[in-house]
Amino acid sequence: MKKVFVVAIAAIMVLSVNAQIRIGVKAGLNLANINGKDAGSPKINPSYNVGGFAEFGVTDNFALEAGLALSGKGAKETEENMTVTLSPLYLEIPINANLKIDLGAAKLLIFAGPYVGIGVGGQEKMEYESNNLSTDIKYGNDQGQLKRIDMGLNFGAGVEFNKIQIRAQYGLGLTNIISTTEVKNSVISISVGYMFGGK
């Protein structure tokens, strides 16, 4: 996975020499969850994504994109009279290959690529019938801690018109987020973005 990410960055650097560069900002909703053999029966934890990205146009129908965003993940789980909500916050760097299909007044976007996330904060909340407790998430490799690095793949589609982009994507985590367990992040994201520059 690390090799794929390095190759993607190198490709962007080489192709950006003659590429048309556009900058964009975006924000939206995350429907986060976890999956894996040890995940139990989690429920969706709503969160957010916000950040910016640079698009390197290679041709009229193909571009490479690098981004930087804050992305909330995690999940909820209820057992008897207690609900536990895990809400880690990651600084995420996605590298996407974008295919653009001209529809006349708009363009259809189809994109995919790897991402790496760095845990920068978040909270774990435990809700009882008569008492609530919140603690800051701790990152590390000890028991009860989340691994700081999360890596995976993004797949998505969207539409672009008048420099506005509306996207939906699925983030498939490929690394276990807790040591000694098989639990991975899983996120559906919906976002709206605005592009500066270019056509």
On average, the pLDDT of the chain sits at 89
| The pair of three-digit structure tokens given for residue 90, joined into one six-digit string | 């990651």
| 164 touches 126 (CB < 8 A) | no
Question: Span 45-69, mean pLDDT?
Answer: 94
The mean per-residue pLDDT over the stretch 68-88 comes to 92
Domain extents for the chain? 2-196
**Cα distance between residue 124 and residue 146, in whole Å:** 11
Residue 65, pLDDT above cutoff 80: yes
Evaluate if residue 57 carries a pLDDT over 80. yes
87 within 8 A of 62, measured Cβ to Cβ: no
Helices (H), 25-93: none
Its CATH architecture, for the domain 2-196, is Beta Barrel (2.40)
Mean pLDDT of all residues in 31-53: 94
Q: What is the pLDDT of residue 181?
A: 87
Q: Is the pLDDT of residue 106 over 90?
A: yes
Alpha helices in 139-189 (DSSP H): none
Q: How confident is the model at residue 141 (pLDDT cuts 50, 70, 90)?
A: confident
| Cβ-Cβ contacts under 8 Å for 131 (sequence gap 6 or more) | none
Residue 110 pLDDT class (50, 70, 90 cuts): very high
Distance (Å, rounded) from C-alpha 82 to C-alpha 132?
Answer: 9
Highest mean pLDDT among 5-19, 54-68, 131-145: 54-68
On the question of pLDDT at 161 being above 60, the answer is yes
pLDDT on residue 67: 96
pLDDT at 16: 46
Helix (H, G, I), strand (E, B), or coil: what is residue 4?
A: helix
Q: Are 53 and 68 in contact (CB under 8 A)?
A: yes
Find the mean pLDDT for residues 28-41: 92
